[in-house]
Amino acid sequence: MIAADSSFSARAHGLVVASRFKPHPLLPGAHLQTIAPAFIRPRVVLAMRIERLETPDDDFVDIGWIGEHNLGGPIATLVHGLGGGFESQYLRGLARLLAAFGWRVALLQLRGGGEQPNKLPRSYHHGDTVDLRWLWHRLRALEPQTPIAAVGWSLGGNLLLRALHEEGAHAPVSLAVAASVPFKLRDCAEHMNRGFARVYQHHLLAGLRQIVRRKLAAGPLPDSVDVRQALSARSFFEFDDAFTAPLNGFRNAIDYYERTSCGAIVHDIRVPTLIVQAEDDPFMSPGCIPAASALAPQVTLEVSASGGHVGFVGLGRRGQLDWWLEQRIAAHLQAALGRAALAEDWLNGVAA
């Protein structure tokens, strides 16, 4: 059962609290926290079973299952960020930890995010909540009494929060965590087109162009898509104007950002939700982070001064690199389900 929190009904809005995260002394600053994991973290090895599910609209999504031996255990659905997928280390790290804690973990590879392009002329984007919500309802129908949690990072965090908003008070999930969330997409796109942030933009655009090429290889795209501009785009504005918006029913990039940003809907989430955010996230300005008054009573926003974007690399008790974010998420989920013993070990040890 989910641990009850009667304080929700007494609040006028959500909470903003200070994080206990402390960066590794050799990895100070937003950029080292963001970039270093890609180079210094060993690949997380998982025994994953990939299940291909046919969607109601005659397309498919792939689900990576971890910890299926934990029969009867709670289920966590994980959603990757932009350019991510089954190989994303942050996703694999949390999956391994949750499986060790007795969870079954379903990794949703968003439609078109894998090496094989999806069949329909559409692609995943910040507002593409359909597949996640469908997966939730499918799992709930199969196991009516099993606690189901949801976790998303970056784009996956934005998408998750929007899905919770759309499901309302009757969401099939019991609790949720989002991390490094781009609350205001237009502001983030503008921020990433300036200064050093353009390095991250360049890297992400390279991955998006690969998605375009894979879809082109599978068949022609609608005439509304400007393939040449998409493949030569030097900013998110240019790419989303040429590809994301026309392919997915938006007028242009601005319309896409305005209609899919989660910052406008976090006041209306009914599921207990933790959001973990760093003030120095190089993908956005600190002004993107909402105030407590903008949050629903069920939402707690935990903010650290540092941590970068999906970084949060700390110092372990024995001097080792500590992947703090996934430990924080796992501890929170454990505590919320009343399975606090392992969570307390972490809170009293790693975070001390």
Q: Which amino acid is at 222?
A: P
> In whole angstroms, what separates CA 154 from the centre of its chain?
5
> In whole angstroms, what separates CA 16 from the centre of its chain?
19
Active site residue 281: yes
Q: What is the 3-state secondary structure (H, E, C) of 9-22?
A: HHCCCCEEEECCCC
Ordered DSSP codes for 160-186: HHHHHHHHGGG-S-SEEEEES--S-HH
Please tell me the distance from the alpha carbon of residue 203 to that of residue 348, in angstroms, as a whole number: 38
The answer to whether residues 98 and 148 touch, using CB atoms and an 8 Å cutoff, is no
> Which has the closest alpha carbon to 118: 53, 205, 215?
215
* Sign of the four-CA dihedral 8, 258, 185, 138: positive
| Residues 6+ positions from 116 with CB-CB distance below 8 Å | 214
Which one is catalytic: 24, 125, 309, 332? Answer: 309
Which one is catalytic: 128, 241, 281, 322? Answer: 281
Active site residue 306: no
Active site residue 62: no
Compute, in degrees rounded to 10, the torsion defined by CA atoms 95, 129, 111, 214: -120
Which one is catalytic: 19, 88, 123, 154? Answer: 154
Please tell me the distance from the alpha carbon of residue 179 to that of residue 315, in angstroms, as a whole number: 20
Which positions are annotated as active-site residues? 154, 281, 309
